[in-house]
Amino acid sequence: MDGWKKRLAWLRVLPEPVPADRDTPLKTAEFEKELFFGGRKETVRLLKDDALGEGYEILPTDLGYDVRGGETGVLYGVYALIRALTAASALPRGVRKPYYDLRMLDSWDNMDGTVERGYAGRSIWFEGNAFAYDPARIRQLGRMLGSVGINALCLNNVNVHQPAQRLLEDLLPKVREFAALLRPFGVRIMLSVDFSQPMQHGLDTADPLDERVQGWWRETAKRVWEAIPDLAGFLVKADSEHRPGPNTYGRTHAEGANMLARAIAPYGGKLVWRAFVYNCMQDWRDTKTDRPRAAYDLYMPLDGQFDGNVILQIKHGPYDFQIREPLSPLLLGMKKTSLALELQLAQEYPGQQIDLYAMPPMWREILDEMGKEKVRAVAAVSNLGRDDCWTGHPFAALNLFSYGLFSWDPDSEAEETVRQWVRMTYALEKGQEDTLTEWLLRSRSIYEKYAASLGLCWMITPNSHYGPNPYGYEFQAWGTYIRADRNAVGIDRTEKGTGYVSQYPEKLREMYARPETCPDGLKLFFHRLPYDYRMRDGRTLIQRLYDDHFEGAEEARAMAEALKTLELPEADKREMLERMDKQLLNAREWRDVVNTFFHRFSGAEDEQGRKIYD
Ligand code: GCV
């Protein structure tokens, strides 16, 4: 039960737990300083300077370092110093402040202890429809989050199932106790709320323009913030995948969000409203409706109508955390609304923390394409669970660690971040450190080759979302089609097709609109192309699909061979090897199922004569 105590992930250099009496970030900073520098020659002084808030400055002195910062800033400064010294990376210079004020981790934990799309075991804090946790583990969680600058944790699933509504009611004192455990690490709590909650309290409506509804939320907000004055805010999934929302009452999403935002504004609360709204009851015969269009069509006309404390949280792509999607055009289009970029650390589509999938290279691409200034906040769906190693696959902790660093500094480099995680987590000799860093950096492209070549997504097993099933979602209501037939595959999203491409600014629109200029990775996302279509490198489309699947499976095998040689702590090694074996089976399955599927449709032979099943 206490196995997690030995699994310190990137905090291995801080082996003792932070004692419970360290109840402020400054006291935590003092503790971490003593723990790390106790056995070293440097002298470190902590200088509190409230004007710096979350910011800090590390100043080398004759004897060691001064760390100056606000209450939380000092703590971040100490962690940054420890990271730099452990990973032998450059010391942060000058005053450092986080680029985004709100750096959220969204947990999809249900109160029955399950975690929606969770791949690291059950919830760390809910079980049996109640709070159930080890306070020491929650403090260690706070420490992990604080050590990489994550400053808000949403406790419950955006799909708010009973009894999670009670978090705002009789369970509020428990939320308050929980919040106190994370406060010393600079982490504030958020709660997902159910838009229809007033209806469980005698009201016959949740209409945001109804005064009784507004009054109910005002009263509720007052009670909640009295109990937890530093609650960061509410998170809402409305009118999405059967969740209640303002559309039921003929009201807009701006009207719905503003109503809640006004209730919490007096307390400085943020209302985070998710833009993941689409028709999940689509008839597959309907080729006009195109799911990726949905969010832009709904929200662009509302730009400028949201209150100042509303943050519209937008998934990075227009679909749903697929392996390769273009950037959501909404992130580029909305100019008068505060936006948050939503990422998913939980590997729902990319291998479920069985297959290796390091995300920093993807985030670098997303941030470069978007421009960091387009959003005011960042959120990521958590990959944590009750497993001893916290993240199912010990290497999946890299994604949590890196998310923190990217959310603090969106100019972070993928390779540097990965290397820093490797050095923080393991004491490997240089050759092994290079091996691990290299394969982590390649892991996404390997997965992409066997699971989402040319931007063809959704060929997955329905519901579980692990493993291949090319037609699994073809006749379903979710708007997730590949439309493969014996001649062609993909969806035409140009002006001649669904018109989705017109949601982009001109430069991107032009690039995506023509198959010749559309990046290979998105070719079949934007275009419907025949199997004999010639790619830029001269290969036919079908040959490229075959090649990617053969290469992906082969590279996964080479990766497994290389990673087997690593000298890791026993538990990490065992878990890594177990998962690698599963990944190899998965990659093989993807290769053979997808290649066979297209071979049967197209009748095309592989130019290299490799085995494809008839
Ligand atoms: C929390 C996808 C997932 C759902 C998730 C949803 C969302 O559809 O499969 O499990 O629900 O995204 O982001 O709201």
3-state helix/strand/coil string of 72-97:
HHHHHHHHHHHHHHHHCCCCCCCEEC
**pLDDT, position 130:** 98
Q: Could you tell me if the CB of 158 is within 6 A of ligand 1?
A: yes
Ligand 1 atom, smallest distance to 117 CA: 10
pLDDT digits (tens, 9 = 90+) for 546-570: 999 999 999 999 999 999 999 999 9
Question: How does residue 208 score in pLDDT terms, banded at 50, 70 and 90?
Answer: very high
pTM over 0.95: yes
- Between CA 100 and CA 120 the distance in angstroms is 28
Segment 249-256 mean pLDDT: 98
pLDDT digits (tens, 9 = 90+) for 491-535: 999 999 999 999 999 999 999 999 999 999 999 999 999 999 999
Three-state secondary-structure class, residue 103: strand
Three-state secondary-structure class, residue 354: coil
Under DSSP, the state recorded for 19 is P
Token pair 């790390």 is at which residue? 36
**pLDDT, position 614:** 83
Q: Could you tell me if the CB of 116 is within 6 A of ligand 1?
A: yes
Residue 69 has pLDDT above 80, yes or no: yes
Ligand 1 atom, smallest distance to 348 CA: 9
**pLDDT, position 75:** 98
CA 330 / ligand 1 centre spacing (Å): 19
pLDDT digits (tens, 9 = 90+) for 11-26: 999 999 999 999 999 9
Segment 156-167 mean pLDDT: 96
Q: Could you tell me if the CB of 575 is within 6 A of ligand 1?
A: no
CA 237 / ligand 1 centre spacing (Å): 10
Question: How does residue 600 score in pLDDT terms, banded at 50, 70 and 90?
Answer: very high
**pLDDT, position 60:** 97
Token pair 């209806």 is at which residue? 199
Question: How does residue 458 score in pLDDT terms, banded at 50, 70 and 90?
Answer: very high
**pLDDT, position 39:** 87
CA distances from 563 to 40, 168, 357, 448 (A): 33, 47, 14, 19
Q: What percent of the chain has pLDDT over 70?
A: 100
Q: Could you tell me if the CB of 280 is within 6 A of ligand 1?
A: no
Token pair 């497994």 is at which residue? 560
Q: Which of 54, 109, 348, 492 is catalytic?
A: 348
Active site residue 241: yes
Residue 1 has pLDDT above 80, yes or no: no
Q: Could you tell me if the CB of 403 is within 6 A of ligand 1?
A: no
Under DSSP, the state recorded for 468 is B
Residue 483 has pLDDT above 90, yes or no: yes
The mean pLDDT of the chain is: 97
Give me 85's structure tokens: 């010294």
Pick from 161, 90, 163: which is nearest to 131 by CA? 163
- Between CA 54 and CA 561 the distance in angstroms is 43
Residue 110 has pLDDT above 80, yes or no: yes
CA distances from 264 to 218, 229, 252 (A): 7, 11, 19
Cβ-based neighbour number of residue 25 at 10 Å: 25
pLDDT digits (tens, 9 = 90+) for 305-318: 999 999 999 999 99
The b-or-e profile of 529-560 (16+ CB within 10 A means b, else e) is bebebebeeeebbbbbbbbbbbbbbebbbebb
